[in-house]
Structure formats: structure tokens, C-alpha cells
């Protein structure tokens, strides 16, 4: 098995990005319309090959994001999601892709870049249900990304990353409901959040969010990164949305 002059094979490495955000209380994922073959015209995750053999994966991820969607996301924290190496996932040959996950606050509509004919936010439901078909194995990547986001919401203070610099507890609840795909009791949620030490900090006085109702207090992200004890996600019910009552 070990010839004297055996050379290991070189592989094409790519990165793919799952960028999640909340719009109108629904979870959305950033997709681009592919401008080149293969899958030209199909929806796909932003991403692409390394530019040169010394480029790091995160650097490539940031670069592709900037190229394909002009979003100014310097501060975006990319979390490694996984490696996708199924032979045959790319018709061009063996391409191994490293997927990254990022959670973004309400972002502006992106505009198209170089390789992508169009870029925009799409509701994740459409992707999960298969109503919206994606190129390559990107549907699986999105599925994995959402699942990862779900568990991260349980154990880390990530939810605040979905919100702006200040937010209300109801905003936070919207995040949990959208990502977990179920509704929660506002009163129990309120209690749980406020009891979790260091999760959120008061930020100024109340302000109205909706046109009506009692104005909610404002908070900002606290120092705590890891939630202990964790937020416990209620057991999933067979039918989609879980009623709070």
C-alpha cells in the first residue's frame, strides 16, 4: 500500500454559507441565483472555491459572501457547520465543501454580485418543504444549519444575534418561535429569560414596538455566552406549529 513515490490526490475545496435571519417573524435563508453552470438559474447557497491554495476557509467564506451579495458583514461570526463530501454531489467532479453557519440581525435586501444573478432572502419553510428546490445538496446543508441553530438557541445566547443592538423580550421570543417552529407562552418565556443570569441587560427606558399595547422594556445582549441552565426546547409535536395553550 505504501509505494515509495505515491502522491496524495489533490481535491477541489469549496465553502458554502448558510446565513439565517428573521424577517416578519419568519426564518429566512440567504440564497443566490446561480449565474453559471452547473445548475445555472437555480437557487443556491452563496459560496465557491478557494481562490488560492493558501486561503483559509473562513477567509474564503467572507470573500464569497462579499462577492455574491454585497452585504457588509465584517462582524458576522461564522460557525463551522460541517463537511459535505458525497461523491457525485457536484457534476463537475469531486468537490468537497465546508459549510458555515451565521446568524444575522435584520439585514437589508442584498443586491446581486459577480457570480450570482440575484441574491435574496427566502423563507426556510419553502426550502424545507421542498417547494423551493436548491442546487447541489444545499437543501440538506440548510436543514443541518437550521437544526444547528435550534440547538445553539438552547445552549448559547445566540438569539440576541438575531436582534439589533437593543430589543424587547418579545423580540427575543419571536426569534425562538421562528427558529424552533413553535409558539411559546409569553409569561413563562419572560420569567425564564429574566431568571437566566447575564443573558440580557436592561437598556434604557421602554419604547413602543407595536402601535398598540403596553410599551416593552428594552434590553441588550449580556455578557453570558453559554446558557446554564439551558433553555429547554419543548418536545416536538407531530403537527407543525405547537399551540402555547
**Cα 82 from Cα 186, distance rounded (Å):** 34
**Cα 32 from Cα 54, distance rounded (Å):** 26
* Residue from the set 4, 10, 108, 129 that interacts with its own copies by CB under 8 A: 10
Does residue 37 belong to the site contacting its own copies (CB under 8 A)? no
- Cα angle 136-139-144, degrees, rounded to a multiple of 5: 120
**Cα 242 from Cα 42, distance rounded (Å):** 33
**Contact range with its own copies by CB under 8 A, out of 3-11, 122-130, 173-181, 213-221:** 3-11
Nearest Cα neighbor of 11 from 44, 46, 49 is 49
Using CB distances below 5 to 8 A depending on partner kind, what does residue 50 bind out of DNA, its own copies, none? its own copies
Separation in Å, CA 108 to CA 30, 69, 92, 189, 236: 11, 11, 34, 29, 32
Which residues in this chain contact DNA in the complex, by CB under 7 A?
Answer: 168-170, 185-188, 190-192, 194-195, 206, 208-217, 229, 232, 234, 244-245
User: Exposed, middle or buried: residue 33 (CB in 10 Å: 0-12, 13-18, 19+)?
Assistant: middle
Does residue 238 belong to the site contacting its own copies (CB under 8 A)? no
Helix (H, G, I), strand (E, B) or coil at 58: helix
Separation in Å, CA 31 to CA 140, 142, 162, 201, 209: 14, 10, 18, 34, 29
Using CB distances below 5 to 8 A depending on partner kind, what does residue 53 bind out of its own copies, DNA, none? its own copies
Does residue 9 belong to the site contacting its own copies (CB under 8 A)? yes
* Residue from the set 67, 70, 118, 242 that interacts with its own copies by CB under 8 A: 67
**Start-to-end Cα distance in the chain:** 64
* Residue from the set 5, 53, 130, 187 that interacts with its own copies by CB under 8 A: 53
**Contact range with its own copies by CB under 8 A, out of 88-96, 131-139, 164-172, 191-199:** 88-96
Contacts with its own copies: how many residues (CB under 8 A)?
36
**Cα 140 from Cα 147, distance rounded (Å):** 11
Least Å from the CB of residue 188 to its own copies: 16
Using CB distances below 5 to 8 A depending on partner kind, what does residue 65 bind out of DNA, its own copies, none? none
Does residue 114 belong to the site contacting its own copies (CB under 8 A)? yes
Contacting residues toward its own copies, per CB under 8 A: 1-2, 8-14, 49-54, 56-57, 67, 80, 82-83, 85-87, 93-94, 96, 98, 114-115, 151, 155, 228-229, 232, 235
Amino acid at each position: 500500500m505504501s509505494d515509495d513515490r505515491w502522491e496524495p490526490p489533490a481535491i477541489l475545496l469549496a465553502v458554502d454559507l448558510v446565513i439565517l435571519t428573521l424577517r416578519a417573524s419568519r426564518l429566512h435563508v440567504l440564497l443566490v441565483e446561480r449565474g453559471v453552470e452547473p445548475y445555472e438559474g437555480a437557487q443556491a447557497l452563496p459560496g465557491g472555491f478557494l481562490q488560492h491554495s493558501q486561503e483559509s476557509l473562513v477567509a474564503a467564506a467572507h470573500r464569497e459572501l462579499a462577492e455574491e451579495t454585497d452585504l457588509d458583514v465584517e462582524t458576522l461570526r461564522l460557525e463551522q457547520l460541517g463537511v459535505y463530501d458525497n461523491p457525485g454531489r457536484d457534476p463537475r467532479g469531486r468537490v468537497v465543501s465546508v459549510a458555515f453557519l451565521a446568524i444575522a440581525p435584520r439585514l437589508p435586501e442584498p443586491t446581486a454580485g459577480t457570480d450570482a444573478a440575484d441574491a435574496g432572502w427566502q423563507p426556510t419553510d419553502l426550502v424545507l418543504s421542498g417547494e423551493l428546490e436548491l442546487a447541489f445538496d444545499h437543501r440538506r446543508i440548510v436543514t443541518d444549519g437550521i437544526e444547528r441553530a435550534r440547538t445553539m438557541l438552547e445552549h448559547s445566547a445566540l438569539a440576541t444575534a438575531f436582534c439589533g443592538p437593543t430589543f424587547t423580550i418579545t423580540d427575543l421570543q419571536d426569534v425562538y418561535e421562528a427558529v424552533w417552529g413553535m409558539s411559546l407562552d409569553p409569561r413563562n418565556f419572560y420569567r425564564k429569560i429574566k431568571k437566566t443570569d447575564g443573558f440580557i441587560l436592561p437598556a434604557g427606558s421602554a419604547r413602543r414596538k407595536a402601535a398598540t399595547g403596553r410599551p416593552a422594556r428594552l434590553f441588550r445582549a449580556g455578557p453570558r455566552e453559554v446558557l446554564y441552565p439551558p433553555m429547554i426546547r419543548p418536545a416536538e409535536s407531530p403537527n407543525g406549529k405547537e399551540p402555547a395553550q
